[in-house]
Amino acid sequence: MDNQNYQGKEIIQNEIYHNGMYPPYSQPPVYYGETEEQKQKRAEVFKMMALPTVIYAFLYTFCLYKNSNSIMTPVFVLATLWYCKTVLAKEQQKLKPFSIFCIAGMLLLAVSAACTGSAPLIFMNLAGIFLLLVCTLLFQCCSTENWTIAKGFSATVTAICGAIGCIGEPFSDFSCFQKKRVRKKDPRAGYIFLGVLFAIPVLLIIVALLYCADAVFADMLRSMFDFDIEVSGVVPAGMMFCYALFASYCGIRYLEKGTISSESKDYRKFEPVVANTILVLVSAVYLAFSAIQILYLFWGNMQLPDGYTYAEYAREGFFQLLFVCMINVGLVLFFMGCFRENRLKKILLTVISLCTYIMLASSALRMCMYIENYNLTFLRVLVLWLLGLTGILLAGILLQIYKDRFPLFRYTIVAVTVFVLGFTFSHPDYWIAKYNTARQDYSYIGHLSADAAPALDGCTAEEMKPYINRVNDHAGEMTFRTFNFSYAVAEKVMDKP
């Protein structure tokens, strides 16, 4: 009986809603799912983004497939900038001042990648390009003026993870686009698609015939497009194309939703007495350790304890000190961001920061002692670079301790970008080779990249032969697409009589 009454009421309500009449005590019907306006917007987004995304995915694959450090890397960055400008909303296309810095950094990192043969430097360049691209999109799509460093890092992680969460957006947008296209009954899009579909096999046949008909034309195509690709390379190239297709589309779709809030919340709510208690104890230990470093290591003529070698002393102390420095940076940021302002807290954070500088200096001195006795390697140079970068970042943290509105997030981006550019353009392998060969040490030559070749000009040591063969083999395989300036210079140096 109750079920019949419920069904009767539902029929009456449906009739009322159908006639556009709502009783005073009722509400309009609630629709679940997306409205027609939202579906219409999805269709328009897909229509606007589909073709540029496919073109960009093709350029991405063509530039970077098994080719991460060539003249195609700047082309890839330019293609990325073109794609972002094409698909972003009009109000987001006007470049903001800090976005210009990030774009300049991306282009310089791309040039650096085309001028080096060192795998670690290539990784740093590509990682830097990716992170600067995410930062550029955040600056364009969000209001970042008041962002703290915690907000900046969380927004960067959210943007990357949010793009992964939008993996279904291309399919939903395409479905809405298909329904809209069918509803409008516009045959032109279908005709264009059929034309392209039939043109592809015709073009392949024509190009194949011309490829066999003229040796110069064939050589040009081989040098430009590297036709001699094994069948096993088709699958990874296809996977790279799909990655570029979905990553670019989903990344833009997530950012344009406006999910990332421009507001930077203030989390400084905890009682500063708790922080001060912890910081007093930590500061006391650090002051005692710093005093020992100053009196014994810096002013004690660097005399080692009995039974210690330079290698044992440098290795035993360096990694622990480096780890403590990382902890200190994290501690200072944590107490700055989570506890209410307090004068004593600022003083204690300053003491810890200054003690951290002493630890950084101690670590650098220990590493220099080690290098003096055992020469250079890439890891040892990287360590010194990392210590310098930590010191610069710590300077920004010290500024924010006393100037609350100091833009630490942007300062961090600038500092890291400048340091990475300086490190990659300096070609550490060159200086390693120059330093070690001056000391008649050729044991590390085999680990160096083509960047070291100018420093080895005229060197005739037996240990040089594997290095020369490896560099010349790689340089001889270069094509128009894979041309690298470092290998080109190395080939000229190695071919000298």
**Burial zone of 342 (CB within 10 Å; 0-12 exposed, 13-18 middle, 19+ buried):** middle
Return the DSSP state at 298.
I
Other C-beta atoms closer than 10 Å to the C-beta of 89 total: 11
Q: Which of 332, 327, 300, 313 is nearest to 397 (CA)?
A: 332
Residues 6+ apart with CB under 8 A from 345: 272, 275, 276, 279, 335, 339
Helix boundaries (H) for 339-445: 343-374, 378-402, 408-425, 428-438
pLDDT at position 204 is 60
**Exposure letters 55-77 (e unless 16+ CB within 10 A, then b):** ebbebbbbbbbebbbbbbbbbbb
* Coil, strand or helix at 145: coil
> Euclidean distance between the first and final Cα of the chain, in Å?
104
Q: What is the pLDDT of residues 264-293, one digit of tens each?
A: 777 777 888 888 888 899 889 989 888 887
How is 104-121 classified by DSSP, letter by letter? HHHHHHHHHHHT---HHH
Residues in the chain: 497
pLDDT at position 115 is 95
pLDDT at position 388 is 92
Beta pairing partners, 339: 270
Q: Are 348 and 276 in contact (CB under 8 A)?
A: yes
* Coil, strand or helix at 264: coil
Q: Are 140 and 101 in contact (CB under 8 A)?
A: no
List the structure tokens of 149: 């460093």
Sign of CA dihedral 338, 341, 345, 351: positive
Give the count of alpha carbons within 13 A of 253, CB side only. Answer: 29
Residue whose token pair is 């300077």: 395
Q: Are 376 and 432 in contact (CB under 8 A)?
A: yes
Return the DSSP state at 270.
B
Say what the pTM is. Answer: 0.81
3-state helix, strand, coil in the chain (%, to 5): 75, 0, 25
Instruction: Please identify every stretch of the chain with a pLDDT value under 70, giving residue numbers as ranges.
Output: 1-33, 91, 181-205, 207-209, 211, 218, 221-234, 297-318, 461, 496-497
pLDDT at position 9 is 45
pLDDT at position 7 is 45
Calculate the alpha carbon distances from 115 to 108, 135, 385, 450 in Å.
Answer: 11, 25, 20, 10
Sign of CA dihedral 55, 57, 60, 65: negative
From CA 276, how far away is CA 265, in angstroms rounded?
A: 23
Q: Are 282 and 164 in contact (CB under 8 A)?
A: no
Phi, psi of 296, deg, nearest 5? -95, -50
**Burial zone of 469 (CB within 10 Å; 0-12 exposed, 13-18 middle, 19+ buried):** exposed
Q: What is the pLDDT of residues 76-135, one digit of tens each?
A: 999 999 999 999 877 677 888 899 999 999 999 999 999 999 999 999 999 999 999 999
Residues 6+ apart with CB under 8 A from 397: 329, 332, 333, 336, 353, 408
Crossing angle (nearest 10°) for helices 234-256 and 119-141? 30
**Burial zone of 390 (CB within 10 Å; 0-12 exposed, 13-18 middle, 19+ buried):** buried
From CA 245, how far away is CA 56, in angstroms rounded?
A: 8
Q: Are 373 and 309 in contact (CB under 8 A)?
A: no
pLDDT at position 302 is 55
Tell me the chain's radius of gyration from C-alpha atoms: 30
Q: Are 64 and 240 in contact (CB under 8 A)?
A: yes
**Burial zone of 212 (CB within 10 Å; 0-12 exposed, 13-18 middle, 19+ buried):** exposed
Beta pairing partners, 270: 339
